[in-house]
Structure 1
Amino acid sequence: MNLKELLVTVHEALQSANIEHALIGAFAMACYGIQRATGDIDFLIDEEDKNKAIEVLGKIGFTVFYQSDEVLQLQGPGNIDFLIARRPLSREMLKEAKPFPSLNIKSVSLEDIIGLKIQAYRNNPKREFRDKADIISIIETNYKLNWDKIKQYADIFNAWEEISQLRNKTYE
């Protein structure tokens, strides 16, 4: 199963179980026209739906590879990663996610993607170059970003100076 088929299959399974979900990561970026190679599909779901997602996707061949309070990784016909919305900010991301007509699947905003990228590389420094490259790609292709919202995310992780420098270098 290719990634697009996998995306549709997982989306339909989640939708049939009334599990609110939104794309994050490379597929979310692709919704906005920013291409990056990936080997998995990343979603945001509410923590209340975590066990239901395991059950529903288990019926179509997925098994739990790893889980914590924050993350759920499934393997099967493909690799699916879920970020678990547990806090008001991530729940707000999920609530505000917008559907994209080409896929009819919701995606978080570009500002939210940047916030998640900051969180990812702050929590795992090995991701820094890849995540900052993604942030630069987003900045380069989107001049109407809500920088106040991005600053809120960056301030959580004490990263505004870095993000501001990336912004300034990109717009030079």
Structure 2
Amino acid sequence: MDFKQVLEKLLTAFREQDIRYALMGGFAIGLWGGSRSTVDLDFLVHRDDIQRIHSIVTALSYEIHHKTENVSQYTSSLKVFGGIDFIHAFRDASIEMLKRAVDKDILGGAIKIRTLIPEDIVGLKLQAIYNNPSRENIDMADIETLVSVNKENLNWELIQQYCSIFGMDDRYRKLREGLK
């Protein structure tokens, strides 16, 4: 995937159409100091913007691959465009994640991109583990990286809330103890 080309086109359209979005996934982890390779883009987007997003990405030669109430996945037959996944924000917690997102510079400062804060990425990773325990090794490695790299600036109360939601209080204790 040519991230620069895709992001320039996508983010220009998002700005023009006031799309509420935030980058998440491997690319976002990289922006917060983690080293995570990725071959696609993952976004959290406001559910009310889904139809406009669909128009934007299909105009860029993407085709819908999979769609549910919670997610839309697009792929392109053009290798340069790769795949893009959109997680639909419609519950209070995910809407709040979009509100907390911050602008990050990418590609040497050429582009600014709304990005989930590390705590919210951790929350989504915990949810992924809860929903699919086979992802635990990959997602816990991402969580540990985010926590380690950003430990001085984390909102631990928010991380504790996420751990409690998914019945993972033991993970919270291990994360805190691992930093001592």
List alignment gaps of at least 5 residues for structure 1.
none
Counterparts of 2:102 and 2:122 in 1: how far apart (Å)?
A: 16
List alignment gaps of at least 5 residues for structure 2.
none
Q: Deviations over 1:79-104 (max 9, x none)?
A: 00111101011001101211113331
2:171 is matched with which residue: 158, 162, 166?
Answer: 162
| In the alignment, structure 1 residue 62 sits paired with structure 2 residue 71 | no
Partner of 1:45: 45
Partner of 1:133: 141
1:5–1:152 CA distance, 2 compared to 1 (3 A): same
Counterparts of 1:70 and 1:166 in 2: how far apart (Å)?
A: 28
**Contact 1:46/1:84 (<8 A) preserved:** yes
Counterparts of 1:163 and 1:82 in 2: how far apart (Å)?
A: 27
1:165 deviates by: 1.1
Alignment partner of 1:142: what SS? Answer: helix
| In the alignment, structure 1 residue 113 sits paired with structure 2 residue 116 | no
Question: What's the C-alpha RMSD, in Å, of the aligned pairs?
Answer: 1.4
**Contact 1:17/1:56 (<8 A) preserved:** no
Q: Could you state the TM-score of these two structures normalised by the residue count of structure 2?
A: 0.89
Counterparts of 2:13 and 2:83 in 1: how far apart (Å)?
A: 15
| In the alignment, structure 1 residue 123 sits paired with structure 2 residue 131 | yes
Alignment partner of 1:66: what SS? Answer: strand
**Contact 1:7/1:41 (<8 A) preserved:** no
1:91 is matched with which residue: 95, 98, 109?
Answer: 95
Q: Structure 1 vs Structure 2: percent identity of aligned residues?
A: 36
Partner of 1:72: 72
1:4 deviates by: 3.2
Counterparts of 2:54 and 2:157 in 1: how far apart (Å)?
A: 36
| In the alignment, structure 1 residue 100 sits paired with structure 2 residue 104 | yes
**Contact 1:13/1:57 (<8 A) preserved:** no
Alignment partner of 2:151: what SS? Answer: coil
Amino acid at match of 1:163: Y
Q: Deviations over 1:41-69 (max 9, x none)?
A: 11110000111111111111011111111
Counterparts of 1:135 and 1:45 in 2: how far apart (Å)?
A: 21
Map 1:24-43; keep pairs closer than 5 Å: 24-43=24-43
Counterparts of 1:162 and 1:84 in 2: how far apart (Å)?
A: 26
Counterparts of 2:4 and 2:128 in 1: how far apart (Å)?
A: 24
Map 1:133-152; keep pairs closer than 5 Å: 133-144=141-152, 145-152=154-161
